[in-house]
Amino acid sequence: MPVNKMTAHEVTKKIFNKEELFILDVRNEEAFEDWKIEGENVEYLNIPYFELLDGVEEILDRVPSDKEILVVCAKEGSSLMVAEMLSDEGLTVSVLQGGMKAWSEHLEPVQVGNLKDGGEVYQFVRIGKGCLSYMVISEGEAALIDATRMTDVFLDFATRKQVKITDVFDTHLHADHISGGRKIAEQTGATYWMPSKDAQEVTFSYKALEGGQVVTIGNTAIDIQALYSPGHTPGSTSFVVDGKYFLTGDILFIDSIGRPDLAGKAEDWVGDLRESLYSRYRNLSEELVVLPAHFMKIDELNRDGSVAKKLGALFEKNHGLNVEDEAEFRRIVTENLPAQPNAYQEIRETNMGKVTPEEEKQREMEIGPNRCAVR
């Protein structure tokens, strides 16, 4: 039987739709345990490729014969060889086209809402990495927020929507993935904005982003209002869009809060983090729809694949927003930090413009799960 190639987009739709999926992951155990395709109805079997070189007979009783099997590896080659052996045994088999490398880079656009005067807000879900980017569209113009390095996705989407990208924002200096903001601004002539307190070491020109600034997109006065909200970084800035949507960067997530230690300064920055979450955010409308820059777990996705929830609901249920004692908050935040993101120092230097790694090196730097949150 032939081996089908399933694209990252097709797998993403299965995850969004909560379809059953059986995955045979043939990477080594350490790579699998660190980072895998996740979904509500996903079953896993991890058998390293080198254990299957002599055939798949010994695992036939561990894989289903009545459903499709998706074989996954790092770049596709190993999974294809294993899939062909399973297919020869009469099983229905697919491989993930491009492997986990493609999974890491896939972006799925999801419309998260409309603006008052007819504009739209789109969220780009990087499902394999947990990154979330945004495009705000109004009257033929668009703003991008926290764009990833897969710049063609955003440029092609803007072309399809027949809009001109006029402004590009980074909510902070990212440490877990390489920003595509500056590159997109250079290609489109858009204004590139970043917080000045995060830009002290950058090697390129930018427009300083400060709290209280308002940037208008389109002719219908769709306002993006900057709210200075340090803690994850010294310059972290949130945005209130059209008085309805609240882009929180890496300060507040749906089920957790941002980590303050990615420059080795957890003790210094944790006070800023609490001030932003417990004072600045508390002064805002609880009806604002929170749109974070990352998600941590697959169950944070809504039915349509979006990651969004009202601020009031987060005040009730997000554990990071409900630690009344400041000393206890400091202890929780500084003692419950996951491992540092892969190559985070190199990523920070890339986003400062100090180094420009080759594309394959950039892929390697980003491989792995999102680690921007306090556990």
| Dist CA 188 CA 338 (whole Å) | 37
Buried b or exposed e, range 22-61, using 16+ CB within 10 angstroms: bbbbbbeeebbeebbbbbeebeebbbbbeebeeebeebee
Q: Which of 52, 73, 110, 293 is catalytic?
A: 73
DSSP, res 298: G
| Dist CA 207 CA 193 (whole Å) | 5
| Dist CA 356 CA 130 (whole Å) | 23
CB count, 10 Å around CB of 293?
31
CB count, 10 Å around CB of 102?
17
| Dist CA 251 CA 230 (whole Å) | 8
DSSP string, 23-78: EEE-S-HHHHHH-----TTEEEEE--GGGGTT-SGGGGGGS-SSS-EEEE-SSSHH
- Helices and strands: H and E segment counts in the chain: 11, 18
What is the residue whose two structure tokens read 């800023």?
Answer: 272
Q: Confirm whether 372 is a catalytic residue.
A: no
DSSP string, 254-281: SSSBB-S-TTS-HHHHHHHHHHIIIIIG
| Dist CA 301 CA 292 (whole Å) | 12
Tell how far CA 326 is from the center of its chain.
29
DSSP, res 206: -
* Catalytic residue list: 73
